[in-house]
Amino acid sequence: PFEWTAVDRRTVDTVRVLAMDAVQKVGNGHPGTAMSLAPAATLLFQKHLRHDPSDPAWVGRDRFVLSPGHSSLTLYIQLYLSGYGLTLDDLKSFRTWGSRTPGHPEHGHTAGVETTTGPLGQGLANAIGMAMAARYERGLFDPDAAPGASPFDHRIYAFASDGDLEEGVTGEASSIAGTQKLGNLVVIYDDNHISIEGDTKVAFTEDVLKRYEAYGWHTQSVEFTTPDGYVEDVEALHRAIVAAENETQRPSIIRLRTIIAWPAPKLQNTGKAHGSALGEPEVAATKQILGFDPQQHFEVSDEVLAHAREVAERGKAAHEAWSARYEAWRAANAQRAAEFDRIARRELPAGWDAKLPQFPPGKDLATRKASEAVIQAIAEQLPEFWGGSADLAESNNTTVKGGLSFLPYYEQDNEFGGSSPYGRILHFGIREHAMGSILNGIALHGNTRVFGGTFLVFSDYMRPAVRLASLMHLPVTYVWTHDSIGLGEDGPTHQPIEHYAALRAIPGFSFVRPADANETAAAWKATLEQDGPVGLALTRQNVPVFDREVLGSALSVHEGVKRGGYVLAEASGGTPRAILIATGSEVQLAVAARERLEESGVPTRVVSMPCVEWFEAQDVGYQDSVLPKSVKARVAVEVGVAQPWYRYVGDAGRVISLEHYGASADFATLLREFGFTAEAVEAAARESLAAVAD
């Protein structure tokens, strides 16, 4: 029988008071939603979420995602009340320098925060990714357990706001969740009719639940607004959550009609209560309504705290009960348990890279095709490695052959060799943004390694997710093919120009543009051996496989790529007069230009620079050895805007770049017409040499 005592109600009101006080103290923030979601959050953390505050990384825990990150106090206060280590002092230092309670929840910064939210829509899409990862994880370690019987069975809970549901990324991701029949996902939609511009009727009049029915979700409604006034019927909400939990064949959404900032007498149900401190008088008036002393701040009774903290004991007990099942699983599945241990440590198996392909020089190959071969070699060694594409599998060459489609049913007749709930091939549809956010959710969930592909130009569609992957330092890999005007006939809408610069600009992100098939293999290897997000830019068109011995490469291709930039072709005599820097498909132009320069007596070095970020991470000694300060005649060549290269070519250098959009024609014509030729590189080098001589 469901119990919701006076202490529980007092706990809820304490949450409201803390939210008001925390915002009031710093003078800014978002009190309204934290107040009106107080009952839902308290109910969830106290009665539904399976969690152990003493072990926020417990692999068997349920996940909670707060998609409206601006309501961070909703989460912080529950973390405090549950005993995750957050203190009242932390709440008092809300939104201040160095605090554990920044304006928006930051994963990795505050224990118990499962993902960084704030950019709306991302959190709900992350939650959908987590729900997918939970199924894949189960498939890796315990695929044959009865539903609900595995230690790897757990749920994903999320709160979502009007803003989350307005953002298109959640529409994309929710459609995927419907197709995937994610029965382990429970979303509570806070329908409060208020956003920053006031009543949502000016922009948001759709029937949200009908839309979710259209996606194939299980939908329910709970109204706290009743004909008799505002009644926070926590038991009704509880029953709805139980029904959602019991619905294991579909994702669930519960529309919860609330009044923002309830019960603030003047500011409830206003846009102002969304994003501003209520002001001392309103805070005091609200405390009075709630039976709190308006003179006190951050008032938490011992009774409330003790009562709330009991969840930590219940969580420990749940954890222990789980551990028994987990140990039984380990005993019965020794090999899988060993695999689990390795994967949980994010270790690569010994010798995992022994079968990475090596590509002999002589035959041209598109780097996307090389990547396809590498993906197969990795997939063979790493069962935790999975991924797919935003409806471009054949173009991105991302398919793990024989991997089966990740779909909620078994089938033998699809074009990917069949499907399975535990399949390794992800089909995102034409939804790059959801793909990005789902990849983040999968990485946040842990215990798998995931990648996703689209055309490089459409990295724009997923950019908000790429940024969050970078901010959270998540190990996701993007396979971005058709990486330049070299894609040819599809024309300017499909040809990236600004994307190299724009992606390199993102802090914490590594943009890798390998020059040939072997650099592609090395790029994949280096990617798996590090932790942050990586974007691989791969050609559609064939490019030569370099003979590193003939060219006199200073390092092995693996060592060179790992260092971001390296001497691919050494100047005759070992002391260059000119340096040509290039990436990807333009490295061949640098190599050809070098030959011409060498023939005319100019010792010329070619530096392949697949990853500027990795090069910048090297010590200055290494960097200087590749780009000696004394050699000022330099040319950089890349089929994108020049912006990233001025830094490396210096005052006397030249950049061969593309400062305008491409065109629709075959790639050879485009490259010639736009000046990407060995002759042009050679001429630029001679200009630079002349500038040095001046």
Residues annotated catalytic, as ranges:
432
At 290, list the tokens.
Answer: 């709630």
DSSP per residue, 28-70:
-S-HHHHHHTHHHHHHIIIII----TT-TT-TTPPEEEES-GG
Residues 6+ apart with CB under 8 A from 535: 459, 466, 477, 478, 480, 503, 509, 510, 511, 512
Q: Nearest to residue 188, comparing CAs of 70, 41, 316, 324? A: 41
Dihedral of CA atoms 191, 193, 197, 202 in degrees, nearest 10, equals 120
380 neighbors 400 (Cβ within 8 angstroms): no
* Least distance from its own copies to the Cβ atom of residue 29, Å: 7
- Beta carbon nearer to its own copies, 372 or 516: 372
> Could you say which DSSP state residue 146 is in?
P
- Beta carbon nearer to its own copies, 419 or 539: 419
> Could you say which DSSP state residue 411 is in?
B
CA–CA dist 222, 244 (Å, integer): 12
Question: Is the N-terminal amide bond of 263 cis, ω within 30° of 0?
Answer: yes
* Least distance from its own copies to the Cβ atom of residue 403, Å: 13
24 neighbors 222 (Cβ within 8 angstroms): no
Alpha helices in 276-427 (DSSP H): 280-290, 302-332, 334-344, 367-381, 393-396
CA–CA dist 383, 316 (Å, integer): 31
- Beta carbon nearer to its own copies, 70 or 319: 70
202 neighbors 235 (Cβ within 8 angstroms): no
CA–CA dist 17, 511 (Å, integer): 46
- Beta carbon nearer to its own copies, 217 or 359: 217
* Least distance from its own copies to the Cβ atom of residue 389, Å: 7
In 350-473 the beta strands, taken as DSSP E runs, fall at: 365-366, 385-389, 405-406, 419-420, 425-427, 449-455
Helix, strand, coil in percent for the chain, rounding step 5: 45, 15, 40
298 neighbors 92 (Cβ within 8 angstroms): yes
- Beta carbon nearer to its own copies, 389 or 510: 389
CA–CA dist 16, 288 (Å, integer): 12
- Beta carbon nearer to its own copies, 334 or 409: 409
* Least distance from its own copies to the Cβ atom of residue 70, Å: 8
Q: How far is CA 199 from the centre of its chain?
A: 32
DSSP SS3 for 159 = strand
- Beta carbon nearer to its own copies, 27 or 573: 27
CA–CA dist 501, 515 (Å, integer): 17
* Least distance from its own copies to the Cβ atom of residue 4, Å: 33
* Least distance from its own copies to the Cβ atom of residue 152, Å: 25
* Least distance from its own copies to the Cβ atom of residue 235, Å: 29
- Beta carbon nearer to its own copies, 82 or 170: 170
At 562, list the tokens.
Answer: 């790992």
CA–CA dist 101, 204 (Å, integer): 31
User: Do you know the residue count of the chain?
Assistant: 694
DSSP SS3 for 587 = helix
* Least distance from its own copies to the Cβ atom of residue 485, Å: 12
Residues 6+ apart with CB under 8 A from 421: 135, 139, 406, 407, 408, 409, 410
Burial of 71-93, coded b for 16+ CB within 10 Å and e otherwise, reads bbbbbbbbbbbbbbebeeebbbb
- Beta carbon nearer to its own copies, 221 or 323: 221
- Per DSSP bridges, beta strands 604-608 and 229-230 are unpaired
* Least distance from its own copies to the Cβ atom of residue 414, Å: 7
- Beta carbon nearer to its own copies, 199 or 310: 199
What phi-psi label fits residue 206: left (phi over 0), alpha (psi between -120 and 50 degrees) or beta? beta
* Least distance from its own copies to the Cβ atom of residue 520, Å: 22
Q: 387 to each of 105, 132, 247, 250, 394, how far by Cα in Å?
A: 28, 12, 27, 22, 13
- Beta carbon nearer to its own copies, 205 or 295: 205
* Least distance from its own copies to the Cβ atom of residue 569, Å: 25
531 neighbors 473 (Cβ within 8 angstroms): yes
- Beta carbon nearer to its own copies, 145 or 430: 430
Burial of 334 (0-12, 13-18, 19+ CB in 10 A): exposed
CA–CA dist 687, 584 (Å, integer): 23
* Least distance from its own copies to the Cβ atom of residue 214, Å: 4
